A = this chain, B = another copy of it.
């Protein structure tokens, strides 16, 4: 490719609407153009990157016996009605009708389509296990599209579905896929990807992991233990506390707490530590606006997703009306109408002898409140948010740290949720009908490209790993209007291409400043500068985009040097 022919403009200025570096650089570098909210056209450099990602993914999926298929983008609603998701999934699922008025949806994930295919094709146990995958466009009507390709509405995704006859077989395959994912991210040049336990969300199933690129701009919050291997999305992280020093009981006492409606105010006024207070957090169910009150230790917070999963219903922060009987700011367990209100106790409250809690009357709290003595026996739940320095649920040390991450892949053990609801069965060895169990495995191609850019860039542009770079080498011809640099550049261009090096040449009669700044935006790892000054010494300047290498190479040795460097850069990616 020639820069003179490459479609797209490159800009020096950071676009005003880009808050994330990778987004700004991919706009400035002519990689993407927005077409609609969260919908982009990929220009040639980005398309080249996504093709390289797709090739890596294909190779790794084929290596774990994946069979590539292609499901439709537009699916009949009937399949989603079978699984129940036509109604259970919100507005992210785009619903539409065809010319005959038939309901359809835009595929945002393809479990239903996979079962539709597999239920006809795998009726005997002898066909199992198998995995099918596709690389296809998906549309998810995401309310919070942001950050260029980081969070979009339309995206290319690799989604894979495996089918098994036993849980042990699913787990073994899940592990193979886990390792394949590690290889994919490594080959894509991601240095800081970790796998964390995750919440299965709308997918259903029990065990799932997300592969997270650690980065400050990540929207996901991750809990990582510094002492052991534990890593989890905070949504899926058990909250563990040690209340063994808080067991002392006191008499239950009603105390006036005028106008003190927050934990800070009450604890300060009563000279009690926050961790002996009982905080009420109030939600309402989306379905009928009924109230849900979660009590949690006063120094902790409720994690809404954990609460949602615990009660198995969609919820929103409550609007407390006078008719509700709830006294905002003074809510406590004692005296709540549990016929109308769902009451939950987080396990952070378990074992505390004497709590401060609301008295359900304006301007009064209790001190010395003991849940078992003053309320009764309760089943504690886990709805609190894990905290930095908190106790690791695996090793028990207070060594938790909190980080941010971008989810670049996920794997789920789905179980029989879809095969049962969609009536997929096979005959086992004994002639009995059984439901197979499934795993599913996703990677967003465009997000991975943007994540790599986010992880690896400087102020001037992306620093692409050689495995993803739109071009492996860029030839910068300075004074392309002169015969000698132009000729040497062209000869080198021809030689590199012939030798299988993906090369772009900038042969435009523009200033060195423009040549270099645009080369920075293209981000090819290997740069060859052909200039009259170097040529006077018979040399070409070889630099790497990451600035590790900058040296003069004799013209005659350039090709062999580049080939060796290319091999070295590929090898480095595979070294941990």
Contact = CB atoms under 8 A, between A and B. Distances in A.
A275 interface: no
A154 B73 contact: yes
A116 interface: yes
Q: Which of A43, A76, A79, A122 has the most CB of B within 10 A?
A: A43
A172 interface: no
Nearest to A132: B7
A137 B120 CA distance: 25
Contact of A44 (B9, B67, B102, B143): B67
Interface string A77-91: 001000000000001
A401 to B, nearest CB: 36
Interface stretch (A93-101, A228-236, A478-486): A93-101
A495 interface: no
B72 A44 contact: no
A42 B253 CA distance: 71
Nearest to A96: B96
Contacts of A120: 9, 33
B41 A122 contact: no
A82 to B, nearest CB: 13
Contacts of A460: none
Contacts of A113: 35, 41
B75 A5 contact: no
B7 A122 contact: yes
Contacts of A39: 72, 74-76
A42 B30 CA distance: 34
B50 A70 contact: yes
Contacts of A132: 7, 44
Interface string A31-57: 001011001111110111011000000
Given A7-B121, A44-B68, A143-B99, A35 B94 contact: no
Nearest to A2: B65
A8 interface: yes
Given A9-B121, A48-B68, A75 B30 contact: no
Interface in A106-148: 106, 113, 116-118, 120-123, 126-127, 130, 132, 134, 136-137, 139, 141, 143
Contacts of A7: 67, 69, 117-118, 121-122, 127, 130, 132
A33 B99 contact: no
A519 to B, nearest CB: 18
A75 B35 contact: yes
A127 B102 CA distance: 46
Contacts of A126: 4
B40 A72 contact: yes
Contacts of A4: 126
A33 B143 CA distance: 33
A68 B47 contact: yes
Contact of A8 (B75, B96, B121): B121
Nearest to A39: B72
Given A94-B98, A104-B36, A121-B30, A42 B69 contact: yes
Contact of A91 (B44, B69, B73, B99): B99
A6 interface: yes
Contacts of A91: 99
Interface string A215-248: 0000000000000000000000000000000000
Given A118-B7, A136-B137, A74 B154 contact: yes
A329 B546 CA distance: 83
Nearest to A118: B7
A71 interface: yes
Contact of A70 (B6, B127, B136, B156): B156
Contact of A72 (B5, B8, B41, B104): B41
A5 to B, nearest CB: 7
Contacts of A123: 9
A232 to B, nearest CB: 30
A35 B130 contact: no
B116 A41 contact: yes
Nearest to A76: B36
B121 A76 contact: no
A36 B94 contact: no
Interface in A542-560: none
The 3 closest A-B pairs by CB, nearest first: A42-B70, A96-B96, A91-B99
Interface of A: 1, 4-9, 30, 33, 35-36, 39-44, 46-48, 50-51, 65, 67-76, 79, 91-92, 94, 96, 98-99, 102, 104, 106, 113, 116-118, 120-123, 126-127, 130, 132, 134, 136-137, 139, 141, 143, 153-154, 156
29 contacts: A1-B67, A5-B67, A5-B130, A6-B67, A7-B67, A7-B69, A7-B127, A7-B132, A33-B121, A35-B72, A35-B75, A35-B76, A35-B116, A40-B72, A41-B70, A41-B116, A41-B117, A42-B69, A44-B67, A44-B132, A47-B134, A48-B68, A73-B137, A74-B106, A74-B154, A94-B96, A98-B153, A99-B141, A99-B143
